[in-house]
Amino acid sequence: MTPAARVAAAIDILDQVLDGMPAEQVLTRWARGSRFAGSKDRAAVRDHVFDALRQRNTFAHLGGGLKGRGLMIGQTRAADIPLDQIFNSQGYGADALTQAELDHLPTGPLPPTADMPEWLHPALRDSLGNDFEAVCAQMQTRAPVFLRVNLHKTTLEQAQKALQEEDILTKPNLLASTALQVTKNARRVQNSKAYAAGLVELQDAASQAVTAGLPLKSSRVLDYCAGGGGKSLAMAALGATVFAHDINTDRLKNIAPRADRADTPITLLDSDEIADHAPFDLVLIDAPCSGSGSWRRSPDAKWRLTSDALSDLHDIQSKLLEIAHPLVSSDGILIYVTCSILMSENQTKITDFTSKNLDWHVKSEQILTPLDGADGFYCARLKRVK
């Protein structure tokens, strides 16, 4: 595909995403229906779409409209690429600019805060304080790709060497001793031998930081909201005996093959089986949340979030704390985690919980934002008052 044809594809995809469809779903459908598109084309179209969603309002301002076409005109302008190289009606490329589009002269640049939903600005300002603008600017950029080294099978150095043999370059990351940041050929990771052999998994460094600091060796752990098992696998690799549960049992299906690859067994539990295995030394609630800490990776989610949906999430988060805390052994630890940067899903939830459950107190809290180099994360460790 020519650069112009890739932009034309991105315009169609963006129009569907702007109508409310999840970006991943539209991209997958487009790739299936576009046999002519090679892996480089698919990657380029994906980058266009995600970049445009990260900077949606900036590009709409530069391009003169909040439609796929406006966003891609804005993106082309922001990249300083001559517009007629892309918008020239040639081949499968995008149509040439209309007179109105040519006449659109954007006034000065928008601040980075413009690319965060406006209704959330007060909550984000409260949550991030002086970092609000800087976090918004960071959210306009692509997130780094991180790997978690499976210490059960290898060391950081050996994993780096194995990846290097496949021309995938990495460097250690200070957030977690298991974390490698990919600096070259990130897209090759999932087809690499090192990945197939279970030496590494894709996992954000902040997510790794959350589990890396836990007392996991020889602990019995319940991952109450295990999803695809990212944290279950990380905890098992650090020596824990892990039980994984999720209300959506379909989401647990990926755990068995991943656990096999990593050589770290994980026991899946249905809701009615949990009581038989309780209490646990550690119960992890990786709560469903706005995902605002990882909006660089899924930028369409920030435009889909509504205040009603956020309020529903607050209710679920409170419910999960109430359901899960009795499953912790008398001297055990309750861990509450979100990939949110909103105080209402984090500190506020924990304060509400401890004010209703006076026998629990917060041992420590960890608050990470994208300014720390990875996704935004919150982690509270709670114990019973002695």
Ligand X SMILES: C[S@@+](CC[C@H](N)C(=O)[O-])C[C@H]1O[C@@H](n2cnc3c(N)ncnc32)[C@H](O)[C@@H]1O
Active site residue ranges: 339
Quote the least distance from Cβ 342 to ligand X, whole Å.
Answer: 14
Q: How far apart are CA 102 and CA 16, in angstroms?
A: 25
Q: What letter would DSSP give residue 235?
A: H
Residue type (1 letter), 285: I
Quote the least distance from Cβ 283 to ligand X, whole Å.
Answer: 12
Q: By CB under 6 A, tell whether 64 contacts ligand X.
A: no
Residue type (1 letter), 266: I
Quote the least distance from Cβ 304 to ligand X, whole Å.
Answer: 16
**SS3 letters across 151-213:** CCCCCHHHHHHHHHCCCCEEEECCCCCCEEEEEECHHHHHHCHHHHCCCEEECCHHHHHHHHC
Q: Is 286 annotated as a binding residue?
A: yes
Structural tokens at position 260:
């096999």
Binding ligand X by CB under 6 A: which of 231, 258, 296, 302? 231
Q: How far apart are CA 346 and CA 340, in angstroms?
A: 7
User: Which stretch in 56-64, 219-227, 363-371, 374-382 sits in contact with ligand X by CB under 6 A?
Assistant: 219-227
User: Which stretch in 60-68, 126-134, 142-150, 225-233 sits in contact with ligand X by CB under 6 A?
Assistant: 225-233
Q: Is 270 annotated as a binding residue?
A: yes
User: Which stretch in 43-51, 65-73, 109-117, 243-251 sits in contact with ligand X by CB under 6 A?
Assistant: 243-251
Q: Is 103 annotated as a binding residue?
A: no
Binding ligand X by CB under 6 A: which of 63, 112, 230, 370? 230
Q: By CB under 6 A, tell whether 243 contacts ligand X.
A: no
Which positions from 265 through 294 interact with ligand X, judged by CB under 6 A? 286, 288
Cβ atoms of 3 and 13 within 8 Å: the answer is no
- CA pseudo-torsion sign 269, 273, 277, 279: positive
> Can you say whether residue 172 is alpha, beta or left, with left for phi > 0 and alpha for psi between -120 and 50 degrees?
beta
Using the minimum distance from each CB to ligand X, give the nearer residue, 62 or 237.
237
Quote the least distance from Cβ 193 to ligand X, whole Å.
Answer: 24
Binding ligand X by CB under 6 A: which of 31, 186, 202, 316? 316
Q: By CB under 6 A, tell whether 374 contacts ligand X.
A: no
User: Which of 338, 137, 302 is CA-nearest to residue 227?
Assistant: 338
Residue stretches of the annotated binding site: 246, 270, 286
Residues making contact with ligand X (CB under 6 A): 224-231, 246-248, 251, 286, 288, 316, 320
